[in-house]
Chain A
Amino acid sequence: MSDPIPADPVLAVDGLSIAFQTRRGLLPAVRDLSFSVGRGEMLAIVGESGCGKSLTALALLGLVPTPGRVTGGAVRLEGRNLLALDEAALRHVRGARISMIFQEPMTALNPVLTVGEQIMEAILEHEPVSRKAARERTLALLERVRIPDPARRFAEYPHRMSGGMRQRVMIAMALAGAPAVLVADEPTTALDVTIQAQILSLIDELRREQGTAVVFITHDLGVVSRYVDRVLVMYAGRKVEERDTRDLFADPFHPYTQGLIAAQPRGLIAAQPRGLAARSQADARLPGVARERLTEIPGTVPALAAMPPGCAFAPRCPLADDLCARTVPPPRPAGSGLVACHHAGESHAI
């Protein structure tokens, strides 16, 4: 059994809790979340809408929007707890030691500045260099993220660029301060698949060459399987499983993870090899030929205001019993990682 915690993590999150302030009190959205990332490592946080993954990403940079707020825990970046810093101190860290890219770059890019000016600004904010030096660094960064003809692109406005090019600009900006950690929140979800492949390869290359640790927020298990070292699965605000990627897909422990993977439409070729000859051309025209039913997870995710007292997945889980209804299962070591389930390992639920 290997330890999932990197020996010398760049980023260590410990017991992070985030809640929404409402008229009826605090509604917990992320509870007691702990994980860490090593230098040059890519960790994915996966889960479905509302599981708390994007909120967690924002909390890593001290950017949780109101009415949400961090209610407990620590986010240690290179040993320093970011949650204890004031806004001025945070601003020094953001962009310099930890930076973030988003799904839609236009929300983060300034539409009235050229892309070159924006990247220069990011450099000048953190380093006492001349404008000339900042300009040269900017051109180097544009080249680094494979933007063709950097000198011309420098003077272009973001809206003139394609989605893929904008995401490259975002990455260049995020890298301006040579951060130790890059938080990427669904960076390719809005992009076409061939462009997505380009951007993911770029991120992968950067972390390998520069040792940047990457926290990758996504809902796409296919992307996870190709690019990520370790995966943290969230459900209803909690970590339910954390594993090395290969182990997670080969043998998921948590019934929710099992359900997520089984719900994924799989390649029929890989799932059930069939000779072409097995189907005549006429058969191919018949409805429903060779189509296995996908596994559904019954029910829906509980609302924040109606969280069950025990395991949040219990109402949808085939293994659930009294213990699950009463007690939240703590994460415990299992295989190459952790699982938070009273019954994981007993049998495959889904």
Chain B
Amino acid sequence: MPSDASPATVPVLSVCGLSVDYATARGVVHALDDVSFELASGETLGIVGESGCGKSTLARAVVRLVDPSAGTIRLGEEDITHASRRQLRAARRDIQMVLQDPAASLDPRWTVGELLAEPLAIHRIGSRAERRGRVADLLRKVGLPPEAAGRRPHEFSGGQRQRIGIARALALEPKIVVLDEPVSALDVSVQAQILNLLTDLQRTLGVSFLFIGHDLSVVEYISDRVAVMYLGRIVELGDRDSLWRRPAHPYTRALLDAAPRIDGPAVPTGPGLSGDTPSPYDLPTGCRFHTRCPIATELCRHEAPATRELSPGHLVACHFPDTGAEPSSSARFGSGI
């Protein structure tokens, strides 16, 4: 994938041609198909899309909770695509995950102090006393009082539990945190607290975020770059402003139009999409979006579009991308992923 970062910088995460298939009773699901992207140090890449687009599978695949069927995952220079359990344990110092429901990922019998010290103990970091100090430090970082260490997760509100989840993910000072819908279960006032916390942590720690979400205003707010997914593929990837100002893929455009926002137009600006997302068991031929696309042609029904670069860093997989006012910009594509 082309990169606008200086050639000397190795991305903290490089995903290339990643595919994940699930074998189920109803057949094989191609949950993720040929997905490529890079994550730079200190940046937030947002991943958006609707149910079944593969965004959560992608989150699980990059931390190797599910096994890829093709492609590679690199942490820095290290290829972890087929890393053994032991190699993975070391790799997980660098890549951690935060889930939507903090309660589900925190053992209710443990105190918060024990939960935060556990990753340190597993990696044999520090003495007992040093770990206690580190726990206090983590609590302070996420805005919880030191007394929180002696209490159990259920004694906290949803927002506070998400702070605990974030503290645990940060315990090993990872380079990357994968956040899978981290604020989707929270009320808007609490959501604001967590989004501010994530922004502050990134600024002070320089950690990179892979932020999976379905709420477009949240993803827009938190992300430097955004990848839009549809039925297992990235259909568009670019820096946030280009994507929001000039979405090139008709699906991106439809998503942005469909999501009402308090500072947006009072009426939808586009016609909206008709129909449902096709079943992942029975994927459409050609471009997977053609069954709902307002501008699909015969070509789209038969041939899957290759990913091309519209402008530096702005990738789109569509035969007829909206290239905006300058028709010449479409002539610049070429390298693809």
Contacts and interface: CB of A to CB of B under 8 A. Distances in A.
B187 interface: yes
B187 A282 contact: no
A48 B255 CA distance: 25
A267 B217 contact: yes
A332 B189 CA distance: 25
B337 interface: no
B272 A201 contact: yes
A288 interface: yes
Contacts of A285: 4-5, 40, 42-43, 224
B228 to A, nearest CB: 12
A196 to B, nearest CB: 7
A-side binding surface: helix, strand, loop or mixed? helix
A226 interface: yes
Interface in B190-208: 190-193, 195-196, 199, 202-203, 206
Given A222-B261, A284-B239, A267 B268 contact: no
Interface string A211-249: 000000001111111110000000000000000000001
Given A196-B258, A267-B217, A276-B242, A300 B266 contact: no
A198 B260 contact: no
Contacts of A225: 260-262, 264, 266
Interface in A164-221: 164-165, 192-198, 201, 219-221
Interface in A37-63: 48-49
Contact of B217 (A164, A192, A265): A265
Interface string B28-65: 00000000000010111000001100000000000000
A263 interface: yes
A162 B276 contact: yes
A279 interface: yes
Contacts of B262: 221-222, 224-225, 249, 261, 264, 266
Interface of B: 4-6, 40, 42-44, 50-51, 157, 159, 187-193, 195-196, 199, 202-203, 206, 214, 216-218, 220-222, 224-225, 239-242, 244-245, 254-255, 257-264, 266-268, 272-274, 276-277, 312-313
20 contacts: A49-B187, A162-B277, A163-B51, A197-B260, A198-B273, A198-B274, A222-B259, A222-B262, A226-B260, A227-B260, A261-B262, A265-B195, A265-B221, A267-B261, A269-B244, A270-B264, A282-B5, A282-B6, A288-B202, A289-B224
Interface of A: 48-49, 162-165, 192-198, 201, 219-227, 249, 259-261, 263-271, 274, 276, 279, 281-282, 284-289, 291, 293-297, 300
